[in-house]
């Protein structure tokens, strides 16, 4: 398809289809007639903001690439959508409980993000889920709404319990979810000591286990949660302390990115059965908390593939409400309030990583000699013959031959029987054959596996000004796919196939798997660089889990972070700018003292002056270079 299009004329529609932006963009991203990626915070019919324009505004303000761009309206819209979808399902099905969402702080702990969620979420009583003391303190400091829930998960010590109980005293709607049987004793003791009656929940280990990368937290073997027998023990202990009226919530968590709606339904039904069992035991209950798991369609395929999901938000909500109702109505149990802890689906869309390309390494078109010199070794002659005989019918055979003769030449070279020039000649013929095969094979219906890999070996390498380890850790750690595409020049035919390497010197610092309607592809269609002009790429849907997981590989630090808010008329404001780490910041994270570094350097430089290596004024400029270096951004600055 691509070739034919190039011959006619490449249109914006072709880019839209090629990069799948309307499949994964959820209506928040599109391509303008000018061939630029635009942000549409209110969906396709609302105002649009050009990303290249945002970048140019950032450059004018002195921000270098890479930049993590956050669009506040998208976050608002996601929270509103989840509540709206649940509201619809509850109304349509005649469900008697309400929906109460909470955001799990671990998914994006950045102050700015949690604060925005607490502010915008207040109108829906959207709360926070915390898994540690630090997260609880952050939540209490940011939450304004007293009706919204604060769900305390995680293994809790005395201090954690105390903090939660004090927050309860301040009027916050705090739930203590027991993850381990031993927590109950601590909670009972601390609430007695502080004179506060807590709202207690338990985390259940369900028997169902969803499939996927991140779903190990579900299933009977999961590390957290109570078995049915342990839950019954909790009931008995609470009864014995005359505190059964405090038992209000049942929680479970199947794992993150549950891509199959069937797993979600099965989980809800099992959870609802347990809930009904607790009502039967005399606990007042009132809340059923389904945890996270609402998936993001990263590849836009709408399938149960791990980087996708085979359901829409509306379907998720309807299925959840319906499954709870059908299970509980059968047992004549009143409908509880439904809590979900959707993290990924709430924040993924809201951040885009933007970076410029610093350089491209291209496999060059090879120059072959007209005639072979006297004494050319046999394998080279054979390679030349192979090249001359390539046809559509013998591609695999030619490929095998090419490898065979090339390896033969390498061996002869190691034994000292051919010289460097002769070996180079063989390599040239070899690459000429590979390139011809690559051209020819596009006409094959079924491409043999060996030949499919050829594209990867011929792919360009685009060097991006970012660190995979810092900004996209899941790409490296669990082969997570994110949509990647150029954010401009989309009216032009992307004539190159490339992979993307970052600027760390680690060979894992690369993106070499890309989303594709057919699953995955090993290279991405890109544009050739133009002299004196930046080429920008965007990695989308990176708002969940990427920011705090990032590490300091090669001491590349946090990127600049900029938030924009788009008004109804399409104008926008840079509402927040956070400077990325400087070289001095990064060095101090790993326990260097930048002042001491400068003192040591000063001593070294002074010594050089005394030895007559440099003049005093040279010392001055050298010291200045180091001082500037410490203040500078850790990424490539142009
Ligand atoms: C991680 C986690 C979540 C968030 O899951 P998502 O799939 O991102 O929605 C929710 N609840 C608990 C207990 C978690 O550990």
d(CA 159, ligand 1 centre) in Å: 23
Question: DSSP string of 244-308?
Answer: GGGEEEEE----S-B--HHHHHHHHHHHHHHHHHHHHTT----EEE--S-B---SSS--SSSTTS
What pLDDT is stored for residue 518 in this prediction?
Answer: 78
Mutate to test the pocket of ligand 1, among 131, 151, 215, 256 (most ligand atoms within 8 A of CB): 256
Among residues 343, 211, 206, the alpha carbon closest in space to that of 275 is found at 206
Beta carbons within 8 Å of 493's beta carbon, 6+ residues apart: 2, 5, 6, 10, 14
Q: Which atom of ligand 1 is nearest to the CA of 217?
A: 15
What pLDDT is stored for residue 462 in this prediction?
Answer: 97
Continuous segment of H or E residues that includes residue 208: none
Q: Of all protein residues, whose CA lies closest to atom 3 belonging to ligand 1?
A: 292
d(CA 406, ligand 1 centre) in Å: 52
What pLDDT is stored for residue 94 in this prediction?
Answer: 98
Residue 218: pLDDT band (50, 70, 90) is low
d(CA 276, ligand 1 centre) in Å: 24
Q: Which atom of ligand 1 is nearest to the CA of 295?
A: 7
Average pLDDT over residues 496-524: 91
Taking only the tens place, the pLDDT of each residue in 322-381 is: 999 999 999 999 999 999 999 999 999 999 999 999 999 998 888 899 899 999 999 999
What pLDDT is stored for residue 445 in this prediction?
Answer: 86
d(CA 151, ligand 1 centre) in Å: 12
Taking only the tens place, the pLDDT of each residue in 303-325 is: 998 899 999 999 999 999 999 99
What pLDDT is stored for residue 506 in this prediction?
Answer: 84
What pLDDT is stored for residue 363 in this prediction?
Answer: 84
The pLDDT of residue 153 is above 80: yes
Instruction: Find how far residue 421's CA is from the centre of its chain.
Output: 47
* H runs (alpha helix) in 484-573: 546-549
Q: Which atom of ligand 1 is nearest to the CA of 106?
A: 1
Among residues 585, 584, 591, 581, the alpha carbon closest in space to that of 627 is found at 584
Taking only the tens place, the pLDDT of each residue in 41-82 is: 998 899 999 999 999 999 999 999 999 999 999 999 999 999
Paired tokens of 470:
């810092």
Q: Which atom of ligand 1 is nearest to the CA of 224?
A: 13
Q: Which atom of ligand 1 is nearest to the CA of 214?
A: 7
Q: Of all protein residues, whose CA lies closest to atom 2 belonging to ligand 1?
A: 292
Q: Distance (Å, rounded) from C-alpha 399 to C-alpha 407? A: 12
The pLDDT of residue 214 is above 70: no
d(CA 324, ligand 1 centre) in Å: 20
What pLDDT is stored for residue 5 in this prediction?
Answer: 58
Taking only the tens place, the pLDDT of each residue in 576-631 is: 999 999 999 999 999 999 999 999 999 999 999 999 999 999 999 999 999 999 99
What pLDDT is stored for residue 386 in this prediction?
Answer: 97
The pLDDT of residue 291 is above 80: yes
Q: Which residues are catalytic?
A: 505
519 vs 228, which has greater pLDDT? 228
Average pLDDT over residues 465-482: 91
> For ligand 1, which residues put their CB under 6 angstroms from it?
104, 106-107, 129, 153, 253, 256-257, 291-294, 341-344
What pLDDT is stored for residue 548 in this prediction?
Answer: 72
Q: Which atom of ligand 1 is nearest to the CA of 342?
A: 9
Mutate to test the pocket of ligand 1, among 107, 149, 180 (most ligand atoms within 8 A of CB): 107
**CB count, 10 Å around CB of 375?**
7
Among residues 23, 60, 22, the alpha carbon closest in space to that of 38 is found at 22
d(CA 559, ligand 1 centre) in Å: 25
- Per-residue exposure over 389-415, b if at least 16 CB sit within 10 Å of its own CB, e if not: ebeeeebbebbebbeebbebbeebbee
Residue 193: pLDDT band (50, 70, 90) is very high
d(CA 611, ligand 1 centre) in Å: 62
Q: Distance (Å, rounded) from C-alpha 333 to C-alpha 322? A: 14
Taking only the tens place, the pLDDT of each residue in 424-463 is: 999 999 999 999 999 999 898 888 888 888 888 899 999 9
Average pLDDT over residues 150-161: 96
Q: Distance (Å, rounded) from C-alpha 30 to C-alpha 33? A: 10
Mutate to test the pocket of ligand 1, among 78, 104, 215, 344 (most ligand atoms within 8 A of CB): 104
Rg of the chain's alpha carbons, rounded to an integer?
A: 30
Mean pLDDT score across all residues of the chain: 94
| 405, 343 Cβ separation under 8 angstroms | no
What pLDDT is stored for residue 222 in this prediction?
Answer: 65
What pLDDT is stored for residue 165 in this prediction?
Answer: 98
The pLDDT of residue 166 is above 60: yes
Question: Any idea how long the chain is?
Answer: 638
What pLDDT is stored for residue 4 in this prediction?
Answer: 59
d(CA 103, ligand 1 centre) in Å: 9
What pLDDT is stored for residue 328 in this prediction?
Answer: 98
What pLDDT is stored for residue 509 in this prediction?
Answer: 93
The pLDDT of residue 8 is above 90: no
Taking only the tens place, the pLDDT of each residue in 241-264 is: 999 999 999 999 999 999 999 999
What pLDDT is stored for residue 6 in this prediction?
Answer: 59
**CB count, 10 Å around CB of 566?**
21
d(CA 311, ligand 1 centre) in Å: 18
Q: Which residues pair with 29 in a beta bridge?
A: 39
Mutate to test the pocket of ligand 1, among 291, 544, 546 (most ligand atoms within 8 A of CB): 291
Q: Which atom of ligand 1 is nearest to the CA of 293?
A: 7
Mutate to test the pocket of ligand 1, among 297, 341, 547 (most ligand atoms within 8 A of CB): 341
């Amino acid at each position: 398809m691509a070739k034919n299009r190039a011959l006619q004329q490449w249109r914006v529609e072709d880019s839209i289809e090629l990069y799948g932006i309307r499949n994964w963009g959820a209506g928040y991203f599109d391509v303008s007639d000018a061939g630029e990626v635009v942000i549409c915070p209110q969906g396709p019919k609302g105002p649009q903001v050009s990303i290249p324009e945002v970048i140019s505004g950032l450059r004018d303000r002195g921000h270098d690439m890479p930049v993590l761009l956050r669009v506040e309206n998208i976050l608002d819209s996601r929270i509103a959508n989840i509540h709206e979808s649940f509201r619809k399902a509850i109304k349509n099905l005649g469900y008697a409980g309400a929906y109460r969402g909470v955001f799990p702080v671990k998914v994006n702990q950045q102050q700015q993000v949690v604060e925005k969620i607490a502010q915008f979420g207040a109108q829906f009583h959207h709360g926070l889920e915390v898994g540690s003391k630090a997260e609880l303190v952050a939540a209490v400091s940011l939450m304004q709404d007293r009706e919204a829930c604060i769900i305390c998960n995680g293994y809790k010590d005395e201090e954690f319990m105390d903090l939660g109980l004090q927050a309860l005293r301040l009027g916050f709607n705090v739930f203590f979810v027991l993850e381990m049987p031993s927590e109950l004793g601590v909670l009972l003791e601390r609430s007695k000591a502080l004179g506060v009656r807590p709202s207690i929940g338990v985390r259940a280990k369900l028997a169902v286990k969803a499939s996927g990368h991140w779903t190990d937290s579900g299933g009977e073997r999961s590390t957290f949660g109570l078995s049915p027998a342990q839950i019954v023990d909790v009931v008995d202990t609470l009864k014995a302390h005359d505190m059964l009226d405090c038992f209000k919530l049942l929680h479970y968590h199947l794992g993150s990115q549950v891509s199959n709606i069937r797993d979600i339904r099965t989980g809800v039904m099992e959870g609802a059965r347990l809930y009904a069992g607790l009502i039967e035991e005399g606990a007042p209950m009132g809340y059923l908390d389904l945890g996270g798991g609402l998936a993001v369609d990263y590849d836009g395929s709408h399938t149960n593939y791990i980087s996708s999901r085979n359901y829409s938000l509306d379907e998720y909500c309807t299925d959840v409400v319906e499954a709870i109702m059908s299970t509980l109505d059968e047992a004549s149990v009143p409908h509880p309030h439904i809590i979900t802890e959707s993290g990924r689906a709430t924040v993924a869309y809201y951040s885009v990583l933007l970076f410029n390309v610093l350089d491209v390494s291209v496999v060059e078109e090879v120059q072959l000699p007209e005639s072979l010199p006297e004494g050319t070794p046999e394998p080279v002659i054979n390679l030349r013959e192979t090249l001359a005989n390539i046809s559509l019918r013998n591609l695999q055979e030619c490929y095998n031959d090419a490898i065979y003769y090339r390896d033969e030449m390498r061996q002869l070279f190691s034994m000292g029987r051919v010289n460097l020039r002769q070996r180079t000649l063989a390599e040239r013929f070899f690459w000429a054959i590979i390139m011809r095969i690559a051209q020819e094979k596009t006409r094959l219906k079924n491409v043999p596996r060996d030949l499919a890999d050829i594209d990867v070996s011929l792919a360009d390498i685009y060097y991006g000004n970012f660190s995979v380890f810092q900004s996209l850790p899941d790409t490296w750690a669990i082969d997570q796919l994110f949509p990647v595409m150029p954010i401009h020049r989309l009216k032009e035919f992307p004539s190159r196939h490339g992979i993307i390497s970052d600027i760390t010197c680690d060979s894992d610092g690369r993106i070499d798997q890309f989303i594709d309607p057919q699953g995955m592809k090993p290279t991405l269609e890109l544009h050739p660089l133009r002299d004196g002009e930046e080429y920008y790429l965007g990695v989308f849907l990176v708002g969940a889990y990427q920011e705090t997981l990032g590490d300091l590989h090669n001491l590349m630090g946090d990127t600049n972070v900029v938030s924009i808010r788009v008004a109804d008329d399409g104008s926008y404001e840079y509402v927040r700018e956070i400077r990325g780490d400087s070289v001095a910041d990064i060095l101090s994270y790993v326990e260097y003292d930048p002042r001491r570094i400068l003192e040591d350097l000063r001593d070294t430089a002074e010594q050089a002056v005394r030895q007559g290596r440099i003049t005093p004024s040279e010392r001055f400029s050298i010291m200045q270079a180091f001082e500037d270096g410490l203040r500078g951004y850790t990424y490539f600055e142009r």
